[in-house]
Copies of this chain bind each other. A is one copy, B any other.
Amino acid sequence: MEIIIYLAGEIHTSWREEIKARSNALQLPITFVGPMENHERSDNIGEEILGEQPNAILKDEAASSINNFRTQILMQKADIVIALFGEKYKQWNTAMDASLAITSGKPLILIRPKEHHHALKELSRKANVTVETIEQAIQVLSYIFEEK
């Protein structure tokens, strides 16, 4: 049984690499997918494909339409969503992806630093599991495949 996991969340640190490395080390039968991790390219993809836009808002709209397209496809392929909230940034798209997962019936693991517990309380209550570290998330994933 193969499982596909969408890794939603910030693209400023290398947390996706860490989660993939640990999953590989345990030989879990998981394929990970996610957003474009090159932040600059993600912001520029609209103009890269559609040409220069009249202003910053329209540049953002062009980029987000293509990023949303990518996310929608990969999310629909996914069996599980992991959403990680970092310590900085608004991260509203992470909250959007997490909520989409819950509403679509896709199991959700939330990774967040403890200090965000108050601001994330409603999302956390709807997530299947809330953890504080990548190590804990990997343990939860590993448990799916364990028999003893």
Which A positions have Cβ atoms within 8 angstroms of B? 1, 3-4, 31, 33, 36-38, 41, 45, 48-50, 54-58, 60-61, 63-74, 76-77, 79-80, 85, 89-93, 95-100, 102-105, 107, 109, 114, 116-126, 128-129, 131, 136, 139-140, 143-144, 146-148
Q: Which residues of B contact A56 (CB under 8 A)?
A: 117-118
A40 CB to closest chain B CB, in angstroms? Answer: 10
A29 CB to closest chain B CB, in angstroms? Answer: 12
Task: Assess A122 versus B73: contact at CB under 8 Å? Given A33-B1, A90-B90.
Answer: no
Q: How many copies of the chain does the oligomer comprise?
A: 8
Q: Are B144 and A73 in contact (CB under 8 A)?
A: yes
Q: Are A125 and B65 in contact (CB under 8 A)?
A: yes
Q: Which residues of B contact A57 (CB under 8 A)?
A: 114, 117
Complex CA distance for A136 and B69, rounded to whole angstroms = 14
Complex CA distance for A97 and B99, rounded to whole angstroms = 8
Q: Are A92 and B66 in contact (CB under 8 A)?
A: no
Task: Assess A128 versus B54: contact at CB under 8 Å? Given A104-B103, A118-B60.
Answer: no
Cβ-closest 3 pairs across A and B: A99-B99, A95-B95, A54-B54
Q: Are B93 and A122 in contact (CB under 8 A)?
A: yes
Which residue of chain B lies nearest to A127 when distances are taken between CB atoms in the complex? B65
Complex CA distance for A3 and B104, rounded to whole angstroms = 20
